């Protein structure tokens, strides 16, 4: 265009050419402004099993000053999300990213970039978010639980620790909770007996670290993880015993998450720095 | 397809708007079929959008491109030249719309759009065209912005706001660059406008030519005198000199017909201060320039011919500004070379015998050439000759005879032509001069506007000892024409601008309209002299005036300085933290109060209501119990109660509250500190 | 008529029985004035039933009490059609729900089926038995009590149903001084339960309702409400924020509270006063957050700015 202006000695062409050139300059500010005033908030990260994709929830909030368009948000290895902030003051976006190792996973620095308004310039920023996904061990199927920690002869009413109805006594076995030992009976000389309670569930199971003797730590955790999922899907109560940690048998989502979290963080820092 | 690469619907609408806005100023110059291509492209793209039709295939695209080029070739007869190039560009622009599907297509389309805006200026730099182009640039920018608003599926008029804001912010910088950017000459020759009609005087004249030119109300040029404007009867704008008559057609001497020794104008002795003025000519596609008798110009690209005309080496394709010095009383060619005497007395060997007879008869009755001139003028005056815009067509041979002895109706060229013919018949050197006479004085800015209807032809006669003397035979027939102009001269006939019933010039009798027209004309003059006429010399003058010359350093300083001056405020306005929520006036006052309290170490917690805060504050600062209670009560009344407790309107209550807050200037007195410390 | 005097006397009347619980009594009245159902939650023996009885008496409403047990069926509450051999037709025997004030004791003891039958009736003000819809008397209040969920053998009300209660109150242990007074009273052999008298008539209830409807909520106040609601929906501590119904409940209660205190406009204090009772049972903390609903309300009160800025 400058060539046209020079060769035709046309002043208005000069003017227009310069206008576009300076527009480019002004656009740098506007491009930058498209990212300014944004607040990025880490909402939560969906726990995932190692090797799967974790879902990260992020909220982008704007200042009231202007609309923001075409924000590309992603981690270097994650899926990408495109957000506009026009009518709503905030949007929630989900990014997916593969997680590999058990424990707390930090996705690293988040990249936010945009080429709005003219597309000629790109502005970007890296953000460190305090967002960590809990990565459960990779579930490893094993054909059978090598010796259930229960000894239910008929499976009709499982003996479970719980606050439900008292059922009867049985001989104390190693591993029974001391709280459930029938101390009065022991005092009367009836020997070590354990109080038994029935639960509404049919069976309940102790998933014990020692069940998988001979395997490496990760493998044990993986197999435990598999069985947690198995029992959870069959709506059977289960408890967890790890070295230094006991989770009483129970059922339900919260319980499952608790157990899985224990597996995920076994031998690891609870909160990464 | 990636959403990022899609063209949002909002952008598509803006692009289509751009398309038609961009072609609009070009429309009159384009073949009709190009406009049809636009409509087809629009319909096609619309149908694609609605899912009815599909995008064109590759071969369809090739075929369309080829036929468009062929069409241009057939319409213009060539593909080279400015008009065919622009037409091709515009056709490609429309065709590109059809295949617009991805963002990169849109980039091509929009940058083409900017380019089309530029090409428009090659044809016209008129104010209106400029305004239209500003609109177009805004539209293209808007479309570009809309392109980067993914997911915007509704047409969004708000997009134009950002585009205009950005352009407005860019304008000051643009002006700076515009004024300081060095102007080079053309780097290579560029396609010229071969297809634009030539306007104004043509290079030859036959009876009726000037009369038909006088039907136009277009502006030929505008003149700004440095001093007083001379009387209208003195304003004879010489443009062409016709020295050769052939088959009743007057024309100038060709370049090669003049021997080398005669090509330089003879020296003219000038005395006294000249009349200085500058002229801005509208583009004519011809190369002659206009000036008053004896004109000399220092402007670049203005040359002088041996018959004292001004001319430009190339055709005037754009508005052209030059300044002239004229000496109205200078005598040109005090002595006449033999060659020129011969050339200026030459007549066709045959024809118009009665006129020759009459001339010889009149010459023999007087003693000098000057008396001979008077005799002819007297004859024009006495005989019933009619000055008219509708002289009736003359046909066949001996047209001067026909005019002089039969029709006796003529326009200026008839009289001038007959006069010169008679002069030459008697052996007196004479020639026809064509140009404009008079002009309209615009009281708004004191310019003289010369219109096409001021076109005129007169004669120059060489008189021994005086050189070339201007003789206007028309003045002998119709003195009004010279004194007042064509409109007055034609009042009886009512033929003034008969072909242009809506021309603004016809409404000169309506004061308001006339004023508007003159104001607009003044604006045009200013626009042309400042923007269009800005060239290397003016730039140099300007920079000289403000910065005392220009060097690379100054250039860089100006650029950087202006960027800082403009970009910093823009950046501040963009990045200044605005209040996220508009704070009401009472909240503002209350926050001022809170600020004062905070200085005393009493910070209101976010969840603390004014009442709770006041309680806490009173416990800390019992001295101010009354004021604290008052402020809190008044604030609560304004912020939460529908009706202010003490009566009166909201405004009054607010005023009272503001005063209370302003008066409240707590200071933690020593005693108070001791009190709190001890407690 | 001095509204506040009437209310004060009612509070005093109930307070004579339930010592040292004036704020809760006021909130309970506020809930009933706002035509909402009340849930009282606390450990056994804290005076839940006492409070609900006293409220019924003070308002002079016809009331019935149903002890919810695990074998209670919906028909036991709603009523049942019985075949009358004499008339050879079915006649409807209305259940205890056909009363102005229903005391639902230990609502979490019964099965979800019975719970939802009651809650449906609460929401719609009518019951449908065997295809026939019968409207409940007006006004119709439910005061439900429940033991905290941690007690065994209970069916905790799901969050969606908790939303149907305008307020949830916790009584808590009495103030030592009040407890001491209680002991002394028992010791002196004074009649512990002297039946409370009616202090508010139905007409006065209507007058209060009109007064509430005239209470003005300014832009500033609505802004504050909106900030509160927005905070519950944005902050990571909240799994479930306030629903629009919850937000409206907050406004209604704040207006009623303002009217009860003889004001024609709502001030932020009103909102803050009713906030724990209105919001605590509607908010669910997110998994990572250690606190419960009350802690969330506390967070709301502290973090959300009363004055827009």
Convert the pLDDT of each residue in A50-98 to its tens digit: 888 888 888 888 776 677 888 888 888 888 888 888 777 778 888 898 8
Chains sharing 3 or more CB pairs under 8 A with chain A: B, C
pLDDT digit string (tens) for C185-220?
777 765 555 677 888 888 888 888 888 988 988 888
**For residue B574, which residues of chain A lie inside 8 Å, CB to CB?**
29-30, 32-33, 36
For chain A, the domain total comes to: 3
The tokens describing C49, both together, are: 């039933």
Indicate which of A40, A42, A44, A46 best probes the interface with C, i.e. most C CBs within 10 Å of its own CB.
Answer: A44
DSSP state string for B188-255: S------SSPP-SS-SEE-TTHHHHHTT---EEEEEEESSPPPPGGG-EEEEEEE-EEETTEEEPPPG
Indicate left, alpha or beta for A177 from its phi (over 0: left) and psi (-120 to 50: alpha): beta
**Contact between A36 and B574 using a beta-carbon 8 Å cutoff:** yes
Q: Which of B606, B611, B639 sits opposite C220 (nearest CB)?
A: B639
Q: Which of A150, A173, A198 is the last residue of a domain?
A: A198
Q: What is the pLDDT of residue C288?
A: 65
Residues contacting residue B121 through CB under 8 Å, at least 6 positions apart = A10, A12, A13, A16, B129, B130, B133
Does C287 contact chain A (CB < 8 Å)? yes
- Residue C152 and residue A43: Cβ atoms within 8 Å? no
pLDDT exceeds cutoff 90 at B634: no
Rounded to 5 degrees, φ, ψ at B471 are -130, 125
Under an 8 A CB cutoff, do B144 and A118 touch?
yes
Q: Is residue A266 part of a domain?
A: yes
Alpha carbon B546 to its chain centroid, in Å, reads: 26
- Kindly indicate the confidence band of residue C256, based on its pLDDT and cuts at 50, 70 and 90: very high
Report the chain C residue with the minimal C-alpha distance to residue B588. Answer: C309
Percent of chain C with pLDDT over 70: 94
Which of the pair, B524 or A273, is modelled with greater confidence? B524
Whole-number percent of chain B with pLDDT over 90:
11
Q: Which pLDDT score is estimated for A161?
A: 44
Q: A44–C286: do the CB atoms touch at under 8 Å?
A: yes
Asked if C152 has any chain A CB less than 8 Å from its own CB, the reply is yes
pLDDT at A71: 86
Q: Is A139 exposed, middle or buried (0-12, 13-18, 19+ CB in 10 A)?
A: buried
Three-state DSSP class for C178? helix
Lowest mean pLDDT among B126-135, C43-52, C60-69: C43-52
Per-residue pLDDT band for C274 (boundaries 50, 70, 90) equals very high
Which residues of chain B does A37 touch, with a Cβ-Cβ cutoff of 8 Å?
575, 577
Task: Copy the structure tokens of residue B43.
Answer: 């319909």
C-contacting chains (≥3 CB pairs under 8 Å): A, B
How is chain C split into domains, by residue range? 3-71+99-201, 214-303
Put simply, the answer to whether A10 touches B121 (Cβ < 8 Å) is yes
C176 shares contact with chain A (CB less than 8 Å): no
CB distance C37 to C141 below 8 Å: yes
- pLDDT on residue A174: 64
Does residue B12 surpass a pLDDT of 70? yes
- The mean predicted confidence, pLDDT, of chain B is 83
Residue B275: strand pairing partners: B326
Nearest of A118, A114, A26, A60 to residue B159 by alpha carbon: A118
pLDDT band with cut points at 50, 70 and 90 for residue A177: low
Q: Which pLDDT does position C152 carry in this prediction?
A: 66
Nearest by CB to B583, from C266, C268, C308: name it. Answer: C308
- Residue C268: count other Cβ atoms within 10 Å of its Cβ: 26
B636 touches chain C (CB under 8 A): yes
Q: Which of A12, A82, A118 sits opposite B4 (nearest CB)?
A: A82
> A259: domain range?
138-160+200-273
Distance, CA of C295 to CA of C279 (rounded, Å)? 11
Name the H helices within chain C: 3-15, 22-33, 48-59, 74-78, 112-124, 159-162, 176-188, 202-213, 219-234, 244-260, 268-279, 293-303
Q: Which of A1, A23, A24 to mutate to test the interface with B (most CBs of B within 10 A)?
A: A23
Q: How many CB pairs lie under 8 A apart between chains A and B? A: 151
CA-based torsion, B646, B648, B652, B653: positive or negative? positive
Give the residue-averaged pLDDT of B407-420.
Answer: 88
Q: Return the pLDDT at B480.
A: 80
When mean pLDDT is compared across A48-57, B332-341, C280-289, the lowest value belongs to C280-289
Interface contact C268, partner B, CB < 8 A: yes
Instruction: Say whether B579 and C309 touch across the interface (CB within 8 A).
Output: yes
Mean pLDDT for chain C overall: 83
Q: Among A178, A198, A218, which residue terminates a domain?
A: A198
**A202-211, B347-356, B471-480: lowest mean pLDDT where?**
A202-211
Residue of A nearest to B126 (CA): A12
| Residue pointed to by tokens 């006669």 | B461
Residue B347 confidence (pLDDT) above 90: no
Q: Which residues of C touch A44 (CB under 8 A)?
A: 236, 286, 288
Q: What percent of chain A has pLDDT over 90?
A: 0
B neighbours by CB contacts (3+ pairs under 8 Å):
A, C
Q: Which two tokens stand for residue B145?
A: 């912005």
Least confident span in A152-161, B46-55, B173-182, B319-328: A152-161
Quick one: pLDDT band at residue A149, thresholds 50, 70, 90? Answer: very low
Which of A19, A25, A64 shows the shortest C-beta gap to B563?
A: A25
Among B333, B414, B456, B521, the active-site one is B456
Enter the ipTM: 0.83
Pick from B23-37, B44-58, B535-549, C131-145: least confident: B535-549
Q: Which residue has the higher pLDDT, A189 or B596?
A: B596
Is A4 inside a domain boundary? Answer: no
pLDDT band at B430 (very low <50, low <70, confident <90, very high): very high
Does the pLDDT at position B388 exceed 60?
Answer: yes
> Least CA distance to C224: which residue of chain B?
B607
Give the integer Cα–Cα distance in Å for B14 and B164. Answer: 14
Higher-pLDDT residue of B539 and B506 is B539
Whether residue C218 and residue B584 make contact (CB cut-off 8 A), yes or no, is no
Give the pLDDT score at B137. 93
- Asked if B144 lies within 8 A of A1 by C-beta distance, the reply is no
Q: Is the pLDDT of residue B672 over 60?
A: no
pLDDT of A144 higher than 80? no
Q: Does A83 map to a domain?
A: yes
- Check CB contact under 8 Å for C152 and A164: yes
Is C3-71+99-201 assigned to CATH 3.40.630.10?
A: no
Mean pLDDT calculated for residue range A239-263 = 84
Q: Do B642 and C264 touch (CB under 8 A)?
A: yes
**Chosen from A117, A121, A123 to mutate, greatest number of chain B CBs within 10 A:** A117
> Do residue A59 and residue C286 have CB atoms under 8 angstroms apart?
no
Chain A residues in contact with B578 (beta carbon < 8 A): 63-65
Tell me, yes or no, whether A144 and A270 share the same domain.
Answer: yes
Q: Which residue has the higher pLDDT, B494 or B82?
A: B82
pLDDT tens track for B554-565: 778 888 888 888
Best of C218, C259, C275, C308 to substitute, by most chain B Cβ atoms within 10 angstroms, is: C308
Residue C233 binned pLDDT confidence (cut-offs 50, 70, 90): confident
Place of tokens 């402020």: B631
Q: What is the domain partition of chain B in residue ranges?
A: 3-157, 204-511, 585-678
User: C-chain residues within 8 Å CB-CB of A164?
Assistant: 152
CB atoms B642 and C221 under 8 Å: no
Mutate to test the interface with A, among B124, B174, B524 (most CBs of A within 10 A): B174
Mean pLDDT on B158-175: 86
Please check the confidence at residue B253 and state whether its pLDDT lies above 80: yes
pLDDT of residue A85: 81
Instruction: Out of B248, B412, B454, B521, pick the active-site residue.
Output: B412
In this complex, is the C-beta atom of C286 within 8 Å of any C-beta atom belonging to chain A? yes
- Report CB contact under 8 Å: C265, B640: yes
Q: Is C126 on the interface with A (CB under 8 A)?
A: no
- Checking if the pLDDT of A166 tops 90, the result is no
With CA atoms as reference, the chain A residue closest to B319 would be: A10
Predicted confidence (pLDDT) at residue B274 exceeds the cutoff of 70: yes
Which pLDDT does position B399 carry in this prediction?
A: 85
User: Class of the C214-303 domain?
Assistant: mainly alpha
- Model confidence at A157, pLDDT cuts 50, 70, 90, reads very low
Report the sign of the C-alpha dihedral through residues B270, B275, B280, B281, in that order: negative
Q: What is the mean pLDDT of residues B90-94?
A: 90
d(CA A260, CA A240): 10
**Residue in the block written with tokens 């700015």:** C305
Q: What is the pLDDT of residues C15-37, one digit of tens each?
A: 888 888 888 899 999 998 888 89
- Model confidence at A160: pLDDT above 60: no
B650 inside 8 A of chain C by CB: no
Residue C187, judged by CB atoms within 10 A of its CB (0-12, 13-18, 19+), counts as exposed
| C236 to A164: CB separation less than 8 angstroms, yes or no | no
- Rounded Cα distance, C243 and B241, in Å: 93
User: Does residue A39 share a domain with residue A94?
Assistant: yes
Please answer yes or no on whether B574 and A118 come within 8 Å at the CB atom. Answer: no
Smallest Cα–Cα separation from B235: which of B243, B226, B223? B223
Cβ-based contacts of A18 with chain B (< 8 Å):
173-174, 177-178, 181
Choice between A228 and B270, residue whose per-residue pLDDT is larger? A228
Residue in A with minimal Cα distance to C236 = A43
Q: Give the mean model confidence (pLDDT) for residues B288-300.
A: 87
Domain boundary at A198, A220, A244, which? A198
Q: Is residue B412 annotated as part of the catalytic site, yes or no?
A: yes
Q: Is B507 on the interface with A (CB under 8 A)?
A: no
C287: nearest CA partner in chain A? A254
pLDDT for A154: 39
Query: What pLDDT sits at residue B53?
Result: 86
The pLDDT of residue A146? 58
Question: Is A55 found in the same domain as A120?
Answer: yes
Give the least confident one: A90-94, A113-117, B253-257.
B253-257
| Contact yes or no for B446/B225 (Cβ under 8 A) | yes
Across chain A, mean pLDDT equals: 77
Å from B568 to nearest chain C CA?
A: 27
What confidence tier does B276 reach under pLDDT thresholds 50, 70, 90?
A: very high
């Amino acid at each position: 265009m400058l060539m046209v202006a020079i060769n035709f000695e046309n002043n208005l062409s000069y003017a227009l050419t310069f206008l576009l050139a300076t527009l480019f300059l002004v656009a740098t500010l506007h491009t930058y402004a498209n990212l300014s005033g944004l607040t990025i908030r880490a909402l939560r990260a969906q726990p995932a099993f190692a090797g799967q994709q974790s879902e990260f929830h992020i909220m982008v909030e704007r200042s009231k000053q202007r609309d923001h368009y075409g924000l590309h948000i992603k981690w270097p290895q994650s899926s990408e999300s495109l957000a506009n902030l026009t009518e709503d003051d905030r949007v929630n976006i989900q990014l997916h990213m593969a997680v590999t190792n058990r424990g707390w996973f930090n996705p690293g620095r988040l990249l936010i970039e945009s080429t709005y308004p003219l597309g000629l310039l790109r502005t970007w920023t890296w953000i460190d978010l305090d967002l960590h996904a809990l990565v459960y061990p990779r579930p490893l199927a094993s054909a059978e639980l090598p010796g259930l920690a229960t000894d239910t002869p008929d499976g009709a009413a499982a003996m479970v620790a719980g606050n439900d109805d008292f059922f009867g006594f049985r001989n104390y076995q190693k591993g029974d909770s001391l709280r459930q030992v029938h101390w009065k009976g022991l005092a009367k000389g009836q020997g070590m007996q354990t109080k038994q309670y029935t639960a509404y569930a049919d069976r309940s199971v102790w998933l014990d670290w020692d069940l998988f003797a001979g395997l490496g730590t990760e493998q044990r955790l993986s197999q435990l993880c598999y069985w947690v999922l198995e029992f959870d899907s069959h709506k059977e109560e289960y408890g967890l015993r790890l070295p230094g940690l006991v989770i009483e048998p129970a059922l339900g989502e919260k319980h499952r998450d608790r157990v899985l979290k224990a597996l995920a963080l076994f031998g690891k820092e609870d909160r990464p720095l | 397809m990636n959403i990022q690469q899609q063209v949002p619907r909002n952008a598509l609408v803006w692009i289509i708007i751009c398309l038609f806005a961009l072609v609009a100023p070009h429309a009159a110059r384009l073949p009709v079929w190009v406009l049809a291509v636009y409509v087809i492209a629009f319909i096609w793209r619309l149908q694609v959008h609605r899912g009815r039709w599909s995008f064109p295939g590759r071969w369809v695209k090739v075929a369309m491109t080829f036929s468009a080029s062929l069409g241009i070739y057939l319409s213009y007869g060539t593909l080279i030249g400015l008009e065919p190039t622009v037409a091709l560009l515009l056709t490609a622009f429309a065709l590109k719309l059809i295949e617009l599907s991805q963002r990169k297509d849109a980039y091509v389309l929009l940058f083409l759009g900017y380019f089309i805006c530029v090409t428009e200026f090659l044809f016209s730099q008129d104010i209106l065209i400029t305004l239209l182009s500003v609109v177009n640039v805004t539209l293209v920018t808007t479309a570009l912005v809309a392109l980067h608003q993914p997911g915007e599926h509704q047409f969004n008029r708000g997009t134009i706001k950002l585009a205009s804001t950005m352009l407005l912010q860019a304008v000051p910088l643009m002006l700076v660059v515009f004024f300081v950017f060095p102007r080079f000459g053309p780097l290579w020759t560029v396609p010229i406008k071969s297809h634009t009609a030539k306007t104004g005087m043509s290079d030859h004249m036959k009876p009726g030519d000037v009369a038909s030119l006088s039907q136009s109300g277009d502006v030929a040029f505008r003149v700004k005198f440095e001093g007083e404007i001379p009387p209208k009867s003195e304003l004879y704008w010489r443009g062409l000199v016709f020295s050769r008559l052939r088959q009743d057609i007057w024309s100038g001497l060709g370049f090669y017909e003049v021997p080398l020794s005669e090509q330089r104008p003879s020296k003219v002795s000038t005395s006294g201060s000249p009349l200085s003025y500058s002229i801005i000519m509208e583009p004519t596609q011809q190369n002659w320039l206009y000036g008053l008798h004896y004109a000399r110009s220092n402007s670049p690209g203005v040359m002088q011919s041996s018959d004292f005309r001004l001319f430009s080496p190339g055709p005037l394709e754009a508005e052209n500004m030059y300044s002239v010095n004229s000496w109205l009383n200078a005598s040109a060619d005090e002595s006449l070379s033999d060659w020129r005497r011969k050339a200026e007395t030459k007549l066709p060997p045959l024809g118009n015998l009665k006129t020759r007879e009459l001339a010889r008869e009149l010459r023999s009755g007087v003693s000098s050439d000057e008396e001979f001139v008077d005799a002819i003028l007297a004859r024009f005056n006495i005989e019933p000759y009619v000055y008219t815009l509708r002289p009736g067509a003359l046909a066949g041979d001996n047209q001067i005879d026909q005019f002089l002895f039969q029709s006796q109706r003529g326009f200026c060229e008839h009289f001038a032509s007959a006069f010169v013919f008679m002069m030459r018949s008697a052996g007196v050197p004479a020639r026809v001069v064509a140009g404009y006479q008079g002009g309209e004085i615009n009281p708004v800015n004191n310019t003289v506007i010369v219109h096409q209807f001021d076109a005129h032809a007169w004669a120059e006669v060489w008189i021994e000892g005086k050189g070339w003397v201007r003789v206007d035979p028309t003045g002998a027939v119709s003195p009004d024409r010279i004194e007042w102009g064509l409109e007055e001269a034609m009042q009886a006939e009512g033929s003034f601008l008969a072909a242009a019933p809506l021309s603004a010039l016809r409404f000169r009798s309506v004061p308001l309209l006339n004023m508007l027209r003159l104001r607009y004309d003044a604006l045009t003059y200013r626009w042309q002299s400042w923007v269009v006429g800005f060239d290397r010399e003016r730039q140099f003058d300007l920079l000289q005036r403000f910065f005392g010359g220009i060097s690379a350093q100054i250039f860089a300083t100006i650029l950087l300085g202006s960027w800082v001056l403009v970009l910093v405020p823009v950046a501040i306005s963009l990045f200044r933290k605005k209040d996220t929520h508009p704070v009401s006036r009472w909240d503002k006052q209350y926050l001022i109060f809170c600020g004062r309290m905070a200085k005393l170490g009493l910070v209101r917690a976010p969840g603390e209501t004014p009442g709770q805060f006041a309680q806490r504050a009173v416990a800390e600062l019992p001295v101010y119990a009354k004021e604290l209670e008052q402020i809190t009560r008044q604030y609560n009344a304004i912020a939460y109660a529908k009706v202010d407790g003490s009566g009166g309107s909201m405004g009054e209550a607010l005023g009272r509250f503001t005063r209370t807050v302003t008066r409240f200037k707590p200071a933690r007195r020593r005693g108070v500190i001791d009190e709190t410390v001890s407690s | 008529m001095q509204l506040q005097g009437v209310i004060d006397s009612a509070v005093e009347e109930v307070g004579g029985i339930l010592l040292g619980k004036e704020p809760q009594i006021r909130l309970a009245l506020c809930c009933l004035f706002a035509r909402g159902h009340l849930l009282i939650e606390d450990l056994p023996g804290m005076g839940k039933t006492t409070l609900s009885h006293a409220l019924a008496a003070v308002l002079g409403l016809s009331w019935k009490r149903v002890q919810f047990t695990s074998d209670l069926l919906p028909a036991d509450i709603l009523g049942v059609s019985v075949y009358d051999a004499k008339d050879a037709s079915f006649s409807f025997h209305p259940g205890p729900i056909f009363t102005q004030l229903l005391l639902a004791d230990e609502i979490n003891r019964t099965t979800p089926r019975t719970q939802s039958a009651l809650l449906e009736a609460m929401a719609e003000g009518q019951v449908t038995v065997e295809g026939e819809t019968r409207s409940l008397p007006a006004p119709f209040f439910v005061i439900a009590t429940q033991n905290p969920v941690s007690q065994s053998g209970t069916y905790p009300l799901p969050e969606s149903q908790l939303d149907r209660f305008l307020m949830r109150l916790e009584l808590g242990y009495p103030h030592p001084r009040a407890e001491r007074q209680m002991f002394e009273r028992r010791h002196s052999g004074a009649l512990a339960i002297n039946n409370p008298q009616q202090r508010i008539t139905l007409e006065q209830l209507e007058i209060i309702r009109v007064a509430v409807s005239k209470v003005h909520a300014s832009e500033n106040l609505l802004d504050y409400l909106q900030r509160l609601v927005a905070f519950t929906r944005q902050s990571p501590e909240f799994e479930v924020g306030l629903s629009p119904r919850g937000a409206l409940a907050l406004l209604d209660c704040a207006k009623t509270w303002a009217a009860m205190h003889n004001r024609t406009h709502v001030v932020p204090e009103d909102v803050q006063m009713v906030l724990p009772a209105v919001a605590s049972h509607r908010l669910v903390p997110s998994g990572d957050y250690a606190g419960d609903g009350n802690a969330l309300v506390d967070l709301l009160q502290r973090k959300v700015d009363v004055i827009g800025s």
